[in-house]
Structures are given as structure tokens and as C-alpha cells.
Amino acid sequence: MSETLYEISAYAKINLFLKILGKLPNGYHQLYTIMQEVDLADEITVAVDEEAEDTITVQDPEGKILSEDNLCHIAARKFLGYMGRKYEGTVFPKITITLEKNIPAQSGMGGGSSDAAAVLLVLQEHFGKPFTDEELNGLAVSIGADVPFFLYGGTCLCENVGEEITVLRSLAGGNIVLVKPSEGVSTAECFKMADRSVAGEDQIAPFRDITERLRSGSEECGLPEFVEFLGNCQDSSNDLQGPAEEMVPEISALLSELTANGARVARMTGSGSAVFGIFDDEEDQASAYDNIRRAHEKDGTEVYRLKTI
């Protein structure tokens, strides 16, 4: 049997805060954000057949072939393309990727980006690490701004367009209720609206300070202190939240619902439309989860009980 199988979980993320520092000449936005993995994941199997023809196929668990625009396909194609240029004469195998989706689309949780990073990590392992960390990071950001974070996972500061990654002290163990309304948010339109007011350096300074405390690994700054910091920021910690609420008013209502159900902090992740609340303990989390799920049984809203990891 020439086929080698790899199984990997592609975890979702939330943005604990997201600040926009400006717009770059290439049209991308310069970001300053802490991304945090949570324990909701797409499940991916990669089958590599060294004796079969050079093809890439992405399918769902029932065997339905997915579009070549799927980020798993793009990641595999770019990986092999980079390898072909770096190592002339390389013979490529047949790659079959089976993708089981669990992360909701248009949620701001980076599902497609996480899938792409998972494929890159599998192929990097299979081919004996042909790329340096810097090269793999460059390949990742060419696929999408969130992809580099998922090469690292955990708790990270992500800067510039997202490719400058700094691993921070872990904020694992947080009790999260995440709510995804049925309506999504256009990421492009959300950023366009956010351009109307870019945060000044005085507004960024507190976020730089808390990040530096996490970067240094200070015992005085862990999850409780970070949650307290976010609570003191009120609604200023995600520069995309205001524009998203204009487009999808239900976001504001769900944030209020999380707060009413005991969340210490309630925020939108990324450009939405998913929102999350952080709770003091699992009992409060479970109560909020049950209440919100019952309240939205028939309107298409998705509710998740999660942990930061």
C-alpha cells in the first residue's frame, strides 16, 4: 500500500482584541490583534499516494468533490508549486484531502484559514520539512492573512497584515459561549467602513501594554487579568465591531444577550458575525449556553460552548 494517511484537527480562533493601525499601499490593513484558539475544529484527513498520478482532490466526508477555490486545495497547490521551484525535478504524488466542516462560515473564526494551515503542516511533515519556518510563513500569508497564526496556534500577537507572529503566554482555559447569527458580514465592506476612523496611538497604547505583559510571561498577567482588562475597554477592543453592527444589527442584540446572561466580557470576533462571551466558571457558562440556545432554537442562530486552548 503506497498511501500514507494523516489526520489533523484544524481549530477555530477568536480575536480577543483587534485594532486597525492603518491601510497599507497594497490595500491590506495593518493590524494589531491577539488571536486565541478555541476547541471547535474542522477535521481533516490527508491521503498521500506516492505511486499515483500528480493530482490534488478535496472532498467532503461523503466523497463530494469540493471546488478548487477551497483553501485546502489552494494550500496544497501552492505548497507543491513552491516545492517545484525550490527543488527542480521533484515528482509529486496524488493528494486527497477529506474535509469535515464544523466551524461556521462567515463567522470571523478563521475556519478556511485554519484548514489551509493544517494542510501546509501535514505536507511540511510528509516531505521532510522542505521549507524553513520563514518560508512556510510566507507561503501561508500568500493564502490568507489569518493563515500564519494557525501554524502556531494557542495565544499569539499578530501584526502587520497578520504574518508577524509573536507567541504569548497562554490564555487557555477560558469558558466561552460563542453565538453565530444566521446572517454573515461582508469582510471587505466591514473593513471599508472601519476606514472612516482609524485608532490613534493613544488608543493603541493600553493594548500594547497588556500584550507586553503577556509577551514577558509575567505571572501577574494571566487569563483573569486579561479578562479584567478587556472588560475595562468596554466596546473599544475590536475596531470592526461597530461597522459590523451597522450591517447586522443582531450582533449588538446578541452581545447584550451574552452580557445579560453573565458574561464578564462580550465581543465580536474578527469581522463577525460570530460573537463570544467569557464567563467566570463552567457553571455560569453552562447556564448561559442553555438559555441562549433555547431562545434561538428556531431562528438559525448557532450556539457553542467552548474553551480557549
Q: List pLDDT tens digits, range 109-148.
A: 999 999 999 999 999 999 999 999 999 999 999 999 999 9
Q: What is the pLDDT of residue 273?
A: 97
Q: What is the pLDDT of residue 91?
A: 84
Out of 13, 42, 180, 239, the active site residue is 13
Strand, coil or helix: 300:
coil
Q: What is the pLDDT of residue 253?
A: 98
Out of 19, 42, 115, 146, the active site residue is 146
Contact status, residue 181 vs residue 257, Cβ threshold 8 Å:
no
Q: How high does pLDDT run on average in the chain? A: 94
Structural domains of the chain sorted by starting position, each given as residue range(s) with its CATH number in brackets: 3-167 (3.30.230.10), 175-307 (3.30.70.890)
- Give the separation between CA 82 and CA 110, rounded to whole angstroms: 24
More confident residue, 200 or 9: 9
13 is a catalytic site residue? yes
**Distance from the Cα of residue 52 to its chain's centroid:** 34
> Residues 196-239: pLDDT tens digits?
877 677 789 999 999 999 998 767 789 999 999 999 987 679 99
86 is a catalytic site residue? no
- The dihedral built from the CA positions of residue 82, 84, 90 and 94, taken in this order, carries a sign that is positive
What backbone torsions phi and psi does residue 263 show, to the nearest 5 degrees?
Answer: -65, 135
Residue type, 33: T
Backbone φ/ψ region at 6: left (φ over 0), alpha (ψ -120 to 50), beta: beta
- Average pLDDT of 288-292? 98
> Residues 83-118: pLDDT tens digits?
999 888 788 999 999 999 999 999 999 999 999 999
pLDDT exceeding 90 applies to what percent of the chain?
A: 85
**pLDDT band per the 50, 70, 90 thresholds, residue 1:** low
Residue 304 scores a pLDDT above 80: yes
